[in-house]
A and B are shown apart, each in its own frame.
Chain A
Amino acid sequence: MSDSAVKNKILAVITLEMNRVSGGAPIFLATTEEEREKTARYLGRILDAAVHDLENGSYIIVAH
């Protein structure tokens, strides 16, 4: 488990508020909550990764 810190990685960000995110991971802009939910679900399934809600308008997809 000690190497989990290295393995955990943000693969993508799905956000409603484009001005609150930036950086290295791909960012997907959603216009509605439903769209955000759907995009996150698809990306999570495609990337075999977990979806986490930062509760600030952004979802992140994290590989554990």
Chain B
Amino acid sequence: MDGFLEIILAGTLAGTLSRVMLLRIDYRQYPGYPHGMVAHLSLGVIASAIGAVVVPALLKPDFAAVTFLALAAQQFREIRGMERITLENLDRNELVHRGNDYIEGIARTFEARNYLVMGTAVLTGAAYHLGNLLAAVIMAALAIIFSRSFMSGETIGDICRVEPARLYFQDTILKVDEIGIMTVGLKEMREKILQDGLAVKITPLNVNARATIHDLGQRMAIAHTAAVILGIKKDIDTPELTPLARKNIDTGDVGLYIVPMEKDMEALLLAVKRTPVLESARSKPLATQAGRKAARKNV
């Protein structure tokens, strides 16, 4: 009976540590700090405690105890729902929307992280039981490293080339290089946009990337990230200043237009590059034979 307590403690500790490490990556996407942080840390502790109990339950052997893992899974699904609802409510008052795809991605991430935490706790508990404290520490470190690298996905900079582009008007149509963005009727607004606006062109590196930035949710996420990082001049009564990402229907390149608070091209390029590739937007036409065949024709 004595050994069980140590196993549970080791597992819980490792799981909680893992949650803390994963939480650090969250700040950029989710401003729930510090109350959101408390909520997520508490849930992380609970998840790791549940995970940590698995090994002792098996040793006891009390197999019925393992069934509450199913209960835990149910709880974590609720976390996803909770995150989604919170973010959707917040998004309604955002001048530049995150978009449902981005929100769904964040919510899913929060759910998945709890499973990772639980897994870390199980593995650490098992390592402690089968080996010793050192084995548990090594296992915990491995699990945390895996979780971090596993959960930090690709960014736009990985799959696309992002370059400064020319922002100009053709009559009243605002254009980013050859891509038409929208029409702007008012002269003063056109002057404002030319004076303060910035534009970048996002060129996909391959067909998979093209399919990804074709996704409207992904483009909203790019515009949102850029707006959050550089600030935005838009207010509720100036919809013309909304950052927009439109694509060249022939090449699949995307032009992004924004009127930022800080007119800094370098910063804009970095902001666009670090936008996460959304899970829901990621697609791999090249993984199919038909997709590869279609791509060859285009080259």
Contact = CB atoms under 8 A, between A and B. Distances in A.
A17 interface: no
A45 B188 CA distance: 13
B240 interface: yes
Contacts of B242: 64
Q: How large is the interface on A (under 10, 10 to 19, 20 to 34, 35 or more residues)?
A: 10 to 19
A40 B183 CA distance: 14
B73 interface: no
Interface in A30-50: 37, 40-41, 44-46, 48-50
A51 B186 contact: yes
B239 A49 contact: yes
Given A44-B237, A51-B240, A37 B172 contact: no
B189 interface: yes
A53 B185 contact: yes
Contacts of B185: 40, 50-53, 59-60
Nearest to A41: B186
B236 A53 contact: no
Nearest to A63: B239
Given A37-B186, A41-B186, A50 B239 contact: yes
A50 B237 contact: no
Contacts of B2: none
A1 interface: yes
B99 to A, nearest CB: 8
Given A53-B172, A55-B171, A44 B186 contact: yes
A48 B186 contact: no
A48 to B, nearest CB: 5
A27 B280 CA distance: 43
Given A1-B216, A53-B172, A48 B237 contact: yes
A1 B100 CA distance: 10
A52 B239 contact: no
A64 B172 CA distance: 18
A51 B184 contact: yes
B187 interface: yes
A59 B172 CA distance: 11
Interface in B201-223: 216, 220
B255 to A, nearest CB: 17
Contacts of A40: 185-186
Interface in B173-202: 182-189
B184 A52 contact: yes
A41 B190 CA distance: 12
Which 4 A-B residue pairings sit nearest by Cβ, starting from the closest? Answer: A51-B185, A53-B185, A53-B172, A50-B239
Interface of B: 171-172, 182-189, 216, 220, 236-240, 242
9 contacts: A37-B186, A44-B186, A48-B237, A48-B239, A49-B239, A50-B182, A51-B185, A51-B186, A64-B242
Given A45-B238, A48-B239, 15 more contacts: A37-B187, A37-B188, A40-B186, A41-B186, A44-B186, A48-B236, A48-B237, A51-B185, A51-B186, A52-B183, A52-B185, A53-B171, A53-B184, A53-B185, A60-B185
